[in-house]
């Protein structure tokens, strides 16, 4: 027997109302109620809600077909999926969200949202702030392991990608109120330090005086010491001794090591400062003391085997084993990552651990995660928590389609790239005559925002797994899907509001937003979809999903704004349309914020 409509109406508690989640999540709740009534014998059916692509509604519920195959032949009263869809529709509790519903084709339930509800929701966001549109946190604590360059080696464009992508993922999680441990897993441990330390002693007998200025370029220092290491057996011998003495904790060697790390760290910091990225360093050396215990534990569990003098973990489906102790008894990259994963799960209580590196390291992480599953540190399924995820990314290519390098085939220095992006955007501002209109400070900060924003966006807008070509002209173009276009679009919206001469705060609280025109409603719907887009981008660890959303938002806004029927300033709908402009600007700014881009307010 079907329950009557009134019986199934649920009243939301205030608590539930506070964390309502996305439109999709709110509709899912309503449909869940209906599904419970429609198929009482199938209690665990998850509502399948998706935004509509067609013209029949804004959202649709796709449960009918799947449900039908579950219940047919079990004495059901329904005569096919359309009937199931019809019942799902009829059993929906009344909700001010929904304007109308219809069943189409094999049982899709299409929902048209109420434009009054939509308008009210947007106005509520304006008054209370965009945080009310934050998605539900998937976990309480997460680690994002990103950037992670190697001491004394170059920080290359791959590390730039890791830094930009990792920062965005961290920002998205932080927006969802997840506590994020932003970890810089720098390569600060390993045999190369013996050679570096010995070379330091040789070049600077008073090595404590060897500051950054004295050494100059640490990469060149690395190269020179490597040359020495390869050509002089006596030096090589001393370097190998130095590793032992360093790892044995000898004071002088520790200090020399710390000094080399410090010089590198200052170099890295310059890039982070420019990009506005904050990270906390816990390098490989930090986990070193934990390695023996972790490996002992794995050995006791019977996971570690002897193979050609090394100690390894065999993993099903992978033809090479994971080496956890090298044949010389030393530890390696994998030993460190196992200890780090153990530490993050057990000491830091992280429930989601995210690693951002090039796709080349995919197999390494795949093996580490599988070993952790064998050890029972992580659950078997990929969709449960605690979870470890590898966020891989492709190469940055030069115009020649090869790995991005400068003319003399040296790797590109990151600071130089950022400098060039900035100076190019500054030149454009001067060309546009801003030199006469703006203060020097305004020019500098705008050039920063546009230049660095362009570099970040050009990276983030691609599906991270694909390679992309680094091209200044393209990323600094003010047309097309670029940060420049988007930043200008935002600045123009701000100028519309300024030109109106109205106090937007006052309008928010005293005026009323309505979505009567189709272009207004389309824009409103897109704004309301912000929460579910951030949720999708976060769950799937795909920043490009947010970039697509932002670009579409800008296009949909243009359509609205350029339509003479939607005139803003001086029309009788001015208040409402200004509020819609403001809501667009607020959502755009939040997108910029999540992408690590600084918005500009005038152009």
Q: What's the closest the beta carbon of residue 342 comes to ligand ARG, in angstroms?
A: 12
Stretch that binds ligand ARG, among 56-64, 142-150, 298-306, 447-455 (CB under 6 A): 142-150
337 binds ligand ARG (CB under 6 A): yes
Q: Which residues contact 219 (CB under 8 A, 6 or more apart)?
A: 152, 153, 154
414 binds ligand ARG (CB under 6 A): no
Stretch that binds ligand ARG, among 93-101, 147-155, 229-237, 514-522 (CB under 6 A): 147-155
423-445 in b/e form (b: 16+ CB < 10 A) is ebbbebbeeeebeeebeeeebee
- Separation CA 476–CA 102 (nearest Å): 46
| CA nearest to 292, candidates 229, 245, 336 | 336
| CA nearest to 262, candidates 147, 151, 413, 148 | 151
| CA nearest to 492, candidates 601, 569, 588, 597 | 601
243 binds ligand ARG (CB under 6 A): no
Stretch that binds ligand ARG, among 144-152, 389-397, 508-516, 539-547 (CB under 6 A): 144-152
Q: Are 295 and 311 in contact (CB under 8 A)?
A: yes
* Residue (153 or 492) nearer to ligand ARG, CB: 153
| CA nearest to 131, candidates 5, 246, 18, 48 | 18
Task: Report the C-alpha dihedral over residues 85, 90, 92, 97, rounded to 10 degrees.
Answer: 100
149 binds ligand ARG (CB under 6 A): yes
Question: What pairs with residue 49 in β-bridges?
Answer: 61
148 binds ligand ARG (CB under 6 A): yes
* Residue (281 or 444) nearer to ligand ARG, CB: 281
- With CB under 6 A as the contact rule, the residue among 121, 141, 285, 357 that binds ligand ARG is 357
The 3-state DSSP class for residue 22 equals coil
For 299, what's the count of Cα atoms within 13 Å in the CB-facing half-sphere?
14
The 3-state DSSP class for residue 508 equals helix
Which 167-186 residues touch ligand ARG, going by CB under 6 A? Answer: 185
Q: Are 473 and 420 in contact (CB under 8 A)?
A: no
The H-or-E segment that residue 441 falls in is helix 440-460
Q: What's the closest the beta carbon of residue 151 comes to ligand ARG, in angstroms?
A: 9
- With CB under 6 A as the contact rule, the residue among 85, 107, 187, 543 that binds ligand ARG is 187
Q: What's the closest the beta carbon of residue 294 comes to ligand ARG, in angstroms?
A: 14
Q: E strands along 304-393, which residues?
A: 304-307, 310-313, 322-325, 352-358, 387-393
Interface pattern 297-336 for ligand ARG (x via CB under 6 A)? ----------------------------------------
340 binds ligand ARG (CB under 6 A): yes
* Start-to-end C-alpha separation, the chain: 64
Strands 322-325 and 387-393: unpaired
392 binds ligand ARG (CB under 6 A): no
Say how many C-beta atoms besides its own lie within 10 A of residue 538's C-beta.
24
* Residue (120 or 405) nearer to ligand ARG, CB: 405
Q: What's the closest the beta carbon of residue 340 comes to ligand ARG, in angstroms?
A: 6
Q: What's the closest the beta carbon of residue 162 comes to ligand ARG, in angstroms?
A: 7
* Residue (187 or 386) nearer to ligand ARG, CB: 187
Q: Which residues contact 62 (CB under 8 A, 6 or more apart)?
A: 48, 49, 50, 108
* Residue (24 or 282) nearer to ligand ARG, CB: 282
- With CB under 6 A as the contact rule, the residue among 31, 257, 355, 468 that binds ligand ARG is 355
- Separation CA 185–CA 261 (nearest Å): 13
283 binds ligand ARG (CB under 6 A): no
Stretch that binds ligand ARG, among 143-151, 234-242, 416-424, 515-523 (CB under 6 A): 143-151
- With CB under 6 A as the contact rule, the residue among 22, 26, 150, 335 that binds ligand ARG is 150
* Residue (459 or 535) nearer to ligand ARG, CB: 459
Q: What's the closest the beta carbon of residue 262 comes to ligand ARG, in angstroms?
A: 18
Q: What's the closest the beta carbon of residue 280 comes to ligand ARG, in angstroms?
A: 14
Q: What's the closest the beta carbon of residue 378 comes to ligand ARG, in angstroms?
A: 15
- Separation CA 144–CA 131 (nearest Å): 22
- With CB under 6 A as the contact rule, the residue among 38, 97, 142, 145 that binds ligand ARG is 145
Give the nearest residue (CB) to ligand ARG: 148
Question: What pairs with residue 310 in β-bridges?
Answer: 307
Stretch that binds ligand ARG, among 79-87, 141-149, 372-380, 584-592 (CB under 6 A): 141-149
192 binds ligand ARG (CB under 6 A): no
Q: How many residues bind ligand ARG (CB under 6 A)?
A: 10
Phi, psi of 600 (to 5 degrees): -115, 150
- Separation CA 114–CA 540 (nearest Å): 30
The binding site for ligand ARG (CB under 6 A) comprises 145, 148-150, 185, 187, 337, 340, 355, 357
């Amino acid at each position: 027997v079907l329950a009557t409509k009134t019986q199934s109406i649920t009243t939301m508690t205030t608590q539930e109302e506070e964390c309502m989640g996305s439109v999709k999540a709110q509709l899912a709740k309503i449909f869940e109620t209906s599904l419970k009534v429609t198929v009482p014998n199938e209690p665990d059916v998850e509502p399948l809600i998706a935004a509509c692509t067609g013209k029949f509604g804004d959202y649709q519920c796709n449960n009918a077909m799947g449900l039908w195959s579950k219940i047919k032949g079990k004495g059901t009263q329904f005569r096919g999926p359309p009937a199931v869809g019809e019942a799902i529709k009829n059993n929906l509790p009344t909700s001010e969200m929904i304007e109308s519903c219809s069943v189409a084709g094999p049982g899709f339930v299409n929902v048209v949202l109420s434009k009054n509800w939509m308008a009210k929701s947007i106005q509520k966001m304006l008054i209370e702030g965009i945080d009310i549109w934050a998605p539900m946190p998937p976990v309480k604590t997460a680690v994002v392991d990103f950037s992670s360059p190697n001491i004394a080696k170059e920080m290359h464009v791959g590390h730039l990608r890791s830094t930009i992508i990792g920062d965005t993922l961290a920002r998205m999680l932080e927006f969802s109120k997840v506590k994020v441990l932003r970890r810089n897993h720098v390569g600060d441990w390993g045999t190369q330090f013996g050679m570096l330390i010995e070379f330091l002693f040789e070049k600077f007998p008073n090595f404590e005086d060897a500051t950054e200025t004295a050494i100059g370029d640490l990469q060149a220092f690395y190269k020179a010491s490597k040359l020495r290491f390869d050509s002089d057996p006596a030096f090589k011998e001393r370097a190998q001794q130095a590793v032992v003495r360093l790892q044995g904790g000898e004071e002088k060697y520790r200090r020399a090591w710390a000094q080399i790390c410090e010089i590198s760290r200052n170099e890295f910091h310059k890039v982070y400062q420019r990009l506005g990225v904050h990270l906390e360093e816990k390098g490989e050396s930090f986990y070193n003391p934990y390695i023996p215990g972790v490996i002992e534990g794995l050995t006791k569990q019977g996971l570690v085997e002897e193979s050609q003098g090394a100690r390894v973990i065999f993993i099903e489906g992978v033809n090479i084993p994971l080496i956890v102790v090298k044949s010389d008894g030393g530890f390696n990259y994998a030993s460190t990552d196992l200890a780090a994963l153990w530490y993050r799960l057990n000491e830091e209580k992280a429930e989601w651990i995210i690693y951002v590196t090039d796709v080349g390291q995919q197999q390494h992480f795949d093996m580490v995660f599988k070993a952790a599953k064998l050890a029972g540190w992580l659950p078997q399924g990929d969709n449960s928590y605690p979870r470890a995820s590898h966020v891989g990314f492709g190469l940055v290519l030069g115009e020649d389609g090869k790995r991005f390098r400068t003319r003399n085939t040296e790797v590109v220095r990151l600071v130089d790239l950022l400098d060039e992006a900035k100076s190019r955007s500054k030149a454009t501002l001067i060309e546009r005559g801003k030199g006469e209109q703006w203060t020097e400070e305004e020019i500098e900060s705008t050039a920063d925002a546009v230049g660095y924003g362009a570099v970040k966006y050009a990276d983030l807008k691609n599906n991270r797994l694909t390679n992309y070509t680094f091209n200044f002209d393209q990323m600094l173009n003010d047309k097309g899907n670029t940060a420049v276009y988007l930043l200008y679009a935002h600045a123009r919206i701000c100028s519309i509001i300024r030109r109106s001469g109205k106090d937007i705060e006052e309008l928010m609280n005293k005026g009323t937003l309505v979505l009567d025109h189709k272009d207004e409603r389309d824009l409103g719907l897109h704004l309301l979809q912000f929460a579910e887009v951030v949720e999708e981008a976060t769950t799937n660890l795909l920043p490009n999903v947010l970039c697509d959303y932002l670009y579409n938002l800008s296009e949909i806004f243009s359509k609205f704004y350029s339509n003479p029927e939607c005139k803003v300033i001086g029309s009788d709908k001015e208040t409402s349309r200004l509020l819609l402009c403001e809501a667009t600007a607020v959502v755009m700014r939040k997108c910029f914020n999540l992408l690590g881009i600084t918005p500009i307010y005038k152009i």
